[in-house]
């Protein structure tokens, strides 16, 4: 980009900040009140009182399910947790040490090849694919991790909830119910967030009338970045590298002097606090006591306090979720994939909404390069 700023149109907004790029019935972020709701229900209330599958149903269908509807939805998804041998054989070819998000993208592309409905974008096919993707993605994340570490695969179990079954597939042990509930709450808080970067990417792909799996693969590439979903891995790595509460102040001073960003802080839309963080913080405090950790939560609170004082910045959704995942023993490399499998319901709901009233998303840009150049043949340059 050259520096000719003279004729930049007045409606240009770097990073599309403040631009309304669509109309949606799915989530509302109210930055004036630091509030987030899914289909009109406060997200933090859903995170405390609903299950992940109730929320997925709500996001996909626009209403909370009654008992019979939830039972039928859960039964369908529980059956879809089983990954085919053909698919698992493919996963076994991914080299050890591959990045978790890159592997997940490849795995979703492979599911697209095996899904008979891949090329169909009508509402009913999209809903079926959404259910399969929501059910399959936790099984894929767990399988990729275990294959990548030379561990035997754990078959899904039908008597555990969507969230608890993921923890079981990761470890082979049935999780403590309180830990499973807190983990489920983080999944609900990750499930949807309007036109965030990965959802918007998915919509650009869907708007070309490409299919749901392709849109999800596009979203995965965007979520991987450290300014988006990658921040949860960055946040815990930061806390571990600080190591001790007494190192927080000198570490932060040096980091800010170098003008580096602190992962897990700040947000494009929220200005005073991320509406999802207070509940996450409460859960982390509770789980710290439960697992007997006395170090990480106070360290995280100290950095929170110092960031508020130095930069007036607050923790976002990725900060305390990363602490929770660490406390419950999840390996860091699956934190961003966990964000992805949680956001699957939100991505799918938006892709369905886009396909139901499609308009190609194709913005314009202001040209700032050279003009009226005279072509010189190659041998005369
Ligand atoms: C989320 C984020 C990309 C929002 O960015 P944005 O609205 O485009 O705001 P900017 O990146 O332009 O930041 C504005 C200012 O705040 C500072 N800032 C923002 N987030 C910061 C952070 N996490 N650490 C340190 N400084 C930060 C920027 O350096 C910039 O300062 P400057 O004006 O002196 O240059 C940004 O806060 C960030 O990079 N956070 C860390 C990554 C993260 O946690 N991402 C997950 C988001 S849910």
Give mean pLDDT, residues 180-204: 98
Unique residue bearing structure tokens 């860091």: 332
pLDDT in the model for residue 34: 84
pLDDT in the model for residue 7: 81
Is it the case that residue 238 has pLDDT exceeding 80?
A: yes
- Of 196, 107, 280, 27, the C-alpha closest to 35 is 27
Output the CA 325–ligand 1 centroid distance in Å: 23
Annotated catalytic residue 228: yes
Unique residue bearing structure tokens 């150049």: 373
| 271: confidence class by pLDDT, cuts 50, 70, 90 | confident
Is it the case that residue 374 has pLDDT exceeding 80?
A: yes
CB atoms inside a 10 Å sphere around CB 27: 22
**Sheet harboring 27-30: ordered strands across?**
27-30, 35-38, 41-42
C-beta 308 within 6 A of ligand 1: no
- 261, 273, 343, best to mutate for ligand 1 pocket (most atoms within 8 Å of CB): 261
Annotated catalytic residue 71: no
C-beta 292 within 6 A of ligand 1: no
- Determine which residue's CA is closest to atom 28 belonging to ligand 1: 261
Give the bridge partners for 122, in sequence order.
none
Is it the case that residue 359 has pLDDT exceeding 90?
A: yes
pLDDT in the model for residue 4: 56
Give mean pLDDT, residues 361-372: 95
- Determine which residue's CA is closest to atom 37 belonging to ligand 1: 266
Is it the case that residue 239 has pLDDT exceeding 80?
A: yes
C-beta 229 within 6 A of ligand 1: no
Output the CA 198–ligand 1 centroid distance in Å: 17
pLDDT in the model for residue 1: 54
pLDDT in the model for residue 319: 98
Residue 168: C-alpha distances to residues 38, 57, 72, 339, 379 (Å): 28, 23, 23, 17, 66
Output the CA 128–ligand 1 centroid distance in Å: 38
Give mean pLDDT, residues 299-327: 98
Output the CA 30–ligand 1 centroid distance in Å: 19
Of the chain, the percentage scoring pLDDT greater than 90 comes to 95
12-41 per-position pLDDT tens digit: 999 999 999 999 999 999 988 889 999 999
pLDDT in the model for residue 38: 98
Is it the case that residue 240 has pLDDT exceeding 90?
A: yes
Q: pTM of the predicted model, to two decimals? A: 0.97
Q: Is residue 158 within 8 Å of 71, Cβ to Cβ?
A: no
| 49: confidence class by pLDDT, cuts 50, 70, 90 | very high
166-188 per-position pLDDT tens digit: 999 999 999 999 999 999 999 99
Question: Which pair of structure tokens corresponds to residue 92?
Answer: 């076994």
- Determine which residue's CA is closest to atom 6 belonging to ligand 1: 268
Annotated catalytic residue 267: yes
80-109 per-position pLDDT tens digit: 999 999 999 999 999 989 999 999 999 999
pLDDT in the model for residue 32: 85
C-beta 318 within 6 A of ligand 1: yes
pLDDT in the model for residue 5: 64
Domains and CATH numbers, the chain: 23-221+334-356 (1.10.580.10), 231-327 (1.10.230.10)
């Amino acid at each position: 980009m050259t520096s000719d700023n003279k004729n930049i149109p007045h409606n240009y907004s770097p990073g599309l900040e403040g631009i309304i790029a669509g109309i949606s019935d799915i989530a509302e972020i109210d930055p004036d009140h630091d509030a987030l709701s899914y289909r009109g229900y406060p997200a933090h209330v859903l995170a405390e009182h609903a299950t992940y599958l109730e929320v997925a149903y709500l996001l996909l269908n626009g209403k909370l399910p009654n008992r019979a509807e939830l039972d039928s939805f859960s039964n369908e998804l529980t059956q879809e947790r089983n990954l085919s041998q053909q698919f698992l054989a493919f996963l076994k070819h991914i080299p050890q040490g591959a990045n978790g998000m890159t592997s997940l993208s490849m795995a979703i592309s492979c599911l697209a090849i095996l899904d008979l409905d891949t090329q169909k974008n009508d509402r009913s096919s999209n809903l079926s694919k959404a259910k399969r993707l929501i059910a399959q993605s936790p099984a894929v994340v767990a399988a990729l991790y275990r294959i990548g570490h030379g561990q035997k695969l754990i078959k899904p179990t039908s008597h555990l909830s969507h969230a608890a079954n993921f923890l079981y597939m990761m470890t082979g042990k049935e999780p403590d119910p309180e830990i499973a509930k807190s983990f489920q709450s983080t999944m609900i808080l990750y499930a949807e967030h309007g036109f965030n970067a990965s959802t918007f990417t998915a919509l650009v792909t869907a708007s070309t009338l490409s299919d749901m799996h392709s849109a999800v693969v596009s979203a995965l590439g965007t979520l991987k970045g450290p300014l988006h979903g990658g921040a949860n891995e960055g946040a815990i790595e930061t806390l571990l590298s600080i190591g001790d509460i007494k190192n927080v102040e000198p570490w932060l001073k040096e980091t800010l002097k170098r003008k580096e960003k602190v992962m897990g802080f700040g947000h494009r839309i929220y200005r005073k606090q991320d509406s999802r963080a207070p509940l996450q913080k409460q859960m982390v405090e509770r789980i710290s006591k439960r697992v007997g950790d006395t170090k990480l939560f106070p360290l995280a609170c100290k950095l929170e306090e110092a960031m508020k004082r130095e930069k007036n910045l607050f923790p976002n959704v990725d900060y305390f979720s990363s602490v929770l995942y660490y406390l419950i023993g999840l390996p860091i490399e699956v934190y961003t994939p966990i964000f992805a499998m949680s956001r699957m319901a939100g991505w799918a709901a938006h892709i369905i909404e886009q396909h139901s009233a499609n308009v190609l998303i194709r913005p314009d840009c202001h040209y700032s390069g050279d003009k009226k150049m005279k072509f010189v043949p190659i041998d005369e340059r």
